[in-house]
Structure formats: structure tokens, C-alpha cells
């Protein structure tokens, strides 16, 4: 895929690009062993959607591999779980699964972002679309002073079911993956680094992220 700021690709897809700062449309993430920031950490992530506390989360997340993980394919596995498969599996599962389905579809939840004091509240799954991030749920529950075993149990169940209903894949430099940010959950697995001069110089995975906006907003 060719990224161009004039909208040619976005108009072909039927959606505009989200912009950051001074009109940038592509973010570059280079992973580091020295940060806990979710977008740059080498630690294993959670199944999630992006921009989950925004009024209008991105429609699609596009990820292009720039530099492959030095430990691939043992490291840097990616997975995408399709929401209808997750919901179907939960609906036909045990009592914990049914409880988690209710948590997603029938109860209001709160999510928060580290760099904002506002909270998002609502149904995590609504009209067949999802917004979800375990970190955002935990952060909101901490800010509200609530310790919720329901949240932890639901997060564990969603992780298990999303793993069961997804398949692993790897991307090589130039490969581009486009994931629906409303009907799928993406999982970044554990990454690695190869130090060339400890502690400052190292090889690690890097990727470009491009978000497409909801064309109806």
C-alpha cells in the first residue's frame, strides 16, 4: 500500500485518514526495552481496539511492518480475533462465558486513557461493534476507586476466547495489515530486541500505523 497525504488512497477506500499533531497521518512505532508505554513496549499486549475512549474511534487500523522483530518468528506473533466469532463462542460457552457476554453487551463499562482525565462510559459491544482495551478498563476502575472482580474475570475470558478463535500470523517488511477497529480485536505478542551497543543501540521491530476515520462522522 502506498501512503499518500493527499487522500488518494483514503478516497479509494472510502474513508479519510485520522491526523496527529500538525497534519501527520502516519505514526511510526519503534519498540524499546526501556519503556512501558503500550505502543512501544516489547511486553506482550492484550487483545484490544484502538482509540477506545475517543468519541469516534478509528474505523480501520492499518499496520505496515518496517523492520521485522530480530527474534521472529519465535517472537512478534500477531493475532486478530473477529468479533462475531468471539460473541458466538461466548454465547455457546460455560457460565463464565455467558457472564462475559453480558458484561460486553448488557452492562455499561468505563474506560480511561493515561493522558486524559475524562472517562468514556457505555456498552463495550453495541450494534455489532466493539471498543475494548483491558488497560483502559483497569485504569478507569482504579480512578473510580472500584476493585472489580467482574472486570478481571471478563478480561481473562475474552483473552481465552479470542485466542481460541484467532490464528497467529507474522508480517515482514512491507507487509501491511488492515484491521477493522470496530469488528475485530488485535493482539500484539511479546517482542524481542538485539543489542548492538548496550544499552542505547539495538535492533527491534518498527511499524507504521495509519488510522482511517469513520466515513459517516
- Nearest residue to Fe ion, scored by beta-carbon proximity: 50
User: Which grid coordinates are listed for 160?
Assistant: 481465552
Alpha-carbon distance of 164 to 128, in angstroms, equals 20
Does the protein bind Fe ion through residue 69 (CB under 5 A)?
no
* 80 vs 87, beta carbon nearer Fe ion: 80
Alpha-carbon distance of 99 to 109, in angstroms, equals 14
Which one of residues 46, 50, 68, 69 is an interface residue with Fe ion (CB under 5 A)? Answer: 50
Element (H, E) at 137: helix 134-143
Judge whether 93 and 164 are in contact, CB under 8 Å.
no
Does the protein bind Fe ion through residue 46 (CB under 5 A)?
no
Smallest gap from residue 80 Cβ to Fe ion (A): 11
Smallest gap from residue 135 Cβ to Fe ion (A): 11
- How many residues lie near Fe ion (CB under 5 A)? 1
Interface segment toward Fe ion; rule CB under 5 A; list 27-35, 49-57, 174-182, 199-207 = 49-57
Element (H, E) at 212: strand 206-212
Judge whether 205 and 63 are in contact, CB under 8 Å.
no
Interface segment toward Fe ion; rule CB under 5 A; list 5-13, 45-53, 79-87, 175-183 = 45-53
CA-based nearest residue to 154, from 100, 86, 209, 116: 100
Smallest gap from residue 13 Cβ to Fe ion (A): 19
Q: Which residues bind Fe ion (CB under 5 A)?
A: 50
Amino acid at each position: 500500500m502506498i501512503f499518500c497525504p493527499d487522500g488518494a488512497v483514503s478516497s479509494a477506500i472510502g474513508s479519510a485518514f485520522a491526523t496527529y499533531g500538525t497534519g501527520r497521518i502516519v505514526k511510526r512505532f519503534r519498540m524499546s526495552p526501556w519503556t512501558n508505554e503500550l505502543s512501544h513496549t516489547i511486553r506482550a499486549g492484550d487483545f484490544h481496539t484502538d482509540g477506545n475512549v475517543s468519541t469516534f474511534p478509528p474505523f480501520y487500523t492499518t499496520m505496515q511492518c518496517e523492520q521485522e522483530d530480530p527474534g521472529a518468528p519465535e517472537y512478534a506473533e500477531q493475532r486478530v480475533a473477529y468479533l462475531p466469532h468471539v460473541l458466538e463462542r461466548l454465547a455457546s460457552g460455560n457460565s463464565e462465558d455467558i457472564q462475559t457476554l453480558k458484561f460486553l453487551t448488557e452492562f455499561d463499562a468505563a474506560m480511561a486513557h493515561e493522558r486524559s482525565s475524562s472517562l468514556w462510559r457505555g456498552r463495550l459491544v453495541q450494534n455489532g461493534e466493539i471498543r475494548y482495551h483491558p488497560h483502559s478498563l483497569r485504569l478507569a476502575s482504579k480512578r473510580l476507586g472500584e476493585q472489580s472482580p467482574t472486570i478481571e474475570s471478563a478480561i481473562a475470558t475474552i483473552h481465552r476466547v479470542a485466542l481460541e478463535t484467532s490464528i497467529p500470523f507474522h508480517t515482514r517488511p512491507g507487509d501491511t495489515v488492515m484491521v477493522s477497529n470496530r469488528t475485530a480485536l488485535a493482539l500484539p505478542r511479546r517482542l524481542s530486541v538485539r543489542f548492538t551497543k548496550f544499552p542505547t543501540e539495538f535492533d527491534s521491530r518498527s511499524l507504521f500505523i495509519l488510522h482511517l476515520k469513520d466515513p459517516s462522522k
